[in-house]
C-alpha cells in the first residue's frame, strides 16, 4: 500500500514539475516574441514613405465610394 502511495506522489510530482517548466517556458517565449515584434513593427513603419501611405488611403477611399 505504501509503495502505491509513494509511486502516485512521485508521478504527480513529476507532472507538476513538467507543467510548471512548460508554463515558465511559454511565458518567457511570449515575452521575447512580443519584444521582438515591437522592434520589427517600429522599424517597418519608418521605412514606408508618407506619399505611398497617402496614395493607398486615397485608393481605398475611391474604392469605397464606388462600392
Distance CA 18, CA 37 (A): 28
pLDDT of residue 36: 83
pTM given for the model: 0.52
Q: Above 80 in pLDDT, residue 9? A: yes
How confident is the model over 16-36, as pLDDT tens digits? 999 999 999 999 999 999 888
Is residue 11 included in any domain, yes or no? Answer: no
3-state secondary structure of 40: helix
Query: How many residues belong to the chain?
Result: 67
Which residues constitute the domain of residue 67? 25-67
Is residue 34 included in any domain, yes or no? Answer: yes
Can you point out the beta strands (E) in 1-67? none
User: Which triple of cell numbers denotes residue 55?
Assistant: 496614395
Distance CA 31, CA 33 (A): 6
Q: How many folded domains does the chain comprise?
A: 1
Amino acid at each position: 500500500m505504501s509503495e502505491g502511495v509513494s509511486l502516485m506522489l512521485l508521478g504527480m510530482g513529476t507532472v507538476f514539475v513538467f507543467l510548471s517548466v512548460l508554463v515558465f517556458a511559454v511565458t518567457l517565449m511570449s515575452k521575447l516574441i512580443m519584444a521582438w515584434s515591437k522592434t520589427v513593427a517600429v522599424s517597418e513603419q519608418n521605412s514606408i514613405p508618407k506619399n505611398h501611405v497617402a496614395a493607398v488611403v486615397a485608393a481605398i477611399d475611391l474604392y469605397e465610394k464606388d462600392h
